[in-house]
Amino acid sequence: MNRILSLVRRCVEDYEMISPGDRIAVGVSGGKDSLLLLAALAKLREFYPVPYEVEAVTLDMGHADGYPGMDFGPIAAFCKELEVPYTMLQSEIHHIIFDLRREKNPCSMCAKMRRGALHNALKERGLNKIALGHHYDDAVETFFMSLIFEGRLSCFQPVTWLDRTQITQIRPLLYCGENLIRHTVERLQLPVVQNPCPANGNTKRQEIKELIYELNGRYPGLKARAFGAMQRLPLPAWGPVEHRRRPLPEDPEGDLAD
């Protein structure tokens, strides 16, 4: 966990993600990324020089025909252990997308509906930031998806101010590779809840993930060079704060968890 905390703190500082008095929600889906992010931010607040609060928010996607809902009881217990307030939001997003609309490409609409529900809940609770679990591999995959499917150089931003909702999105796991996250979650035995989404594992992102895996095996270091290129170009908002610019982590993907 020390390795994760080091990378999270470095990312938070490089992009000035946390300000004094921030009330930060962690969108906890039940997956490994959001659970580890919650654990990291809960631990970091104990010694980080800037005071902030953390809360966990889960959006229950509901049921779809043939697909059960999710049991978030273990996550509620985990939040209690971390001394983090936990809020469960009910929705029928899966029913709307898969049963009523029968979307063939559901991910985009699902993401929009989830964002809307979460942002409304945050405003009601006076939370000004939401921390999302996107990591190093997610960023590289998004970059390649934009290039291959849209013909443009683009990626989500480390910090995004949402003018309409007055909420700031932050992504503190961007320096942490998926392998490091997976092994850390296994070692800490975090209560991962399996995703029953009908589209899970059958998406364009999964195609790109497999393509990058193949290319990185053929051209070692390809992912690291792509990530570095996003910072050096830089893509909008990807250049770390100038006075804190430092070399990238040497091994964001390695199994270096403590």
What domain count does the chain have? 1
225 in a domain, yes or no?
yes
257 in a domain, yes or no?
no
Ranking 4-8, 90-94, 206-210, 224-228 by mean pLDDT, the lowest is: 90-94
Check which CATH number belongs to the domain holding 11 and give it: 3.40.50.620
Strand partners, 60: 90
137 in a domain, yes or no?
yes
pLDDT tens-digit profile of 151-189? 888 899 999 998 888 899 999 999 999 999 999 999 999
Domain extent, residue 186, equals 2-244
Mean pLDDT in residue range 112-123: 75
pLDDT tens-digit profile of 77-102? 999 999 999 988 865 555 566 555 56
232 in a domain, yes or no?
yes
Q: Judge whether 143 and 136 are in contact, CB under 8 Å.
A: no
**pLDDT at residue 217 in the model:** 92
140 in a domain, yes or no?
yes
Confidence of residue 200 (pLDDT cuts 50, 70, 90): low
pLDDT tens-digit profile of 129-160? 999 999 999 999 999 999 999 988 889 999 99
**pLDDT at residue 109 in the model:** 65
Pairwise CA distance, residues 227 & 134, whole Å: 13
Pairwise CA distance, residues 250 & 165, whole Å: 37
144 in a domain, yes or no?
yes
Residue 5 buriedness (CB in 10 A; 0-12 / 13-18 / 19+): middle
Given a cut of 70, is residue 256 above it in pLDDT?
no
Q: Judge whether 159 and 241 are in contact, CB under 8 Å.
A: no
Helix (H, G, I), strand (E, B) or coil at 17: coil
100 in a domain, yes or no?
yes
Amino acid at 180: L
Pairwise CA distance, residues 217 & 214, whole Å: 5
Q: Of 125, 126, 117, 101, which Cα lies nearest the Cα of 58? A: 117
251 in a domain, yes or no?
no
pLDDT tens-digit profile of 31-60? 999 999 999 999 999 999 999 999 999 877
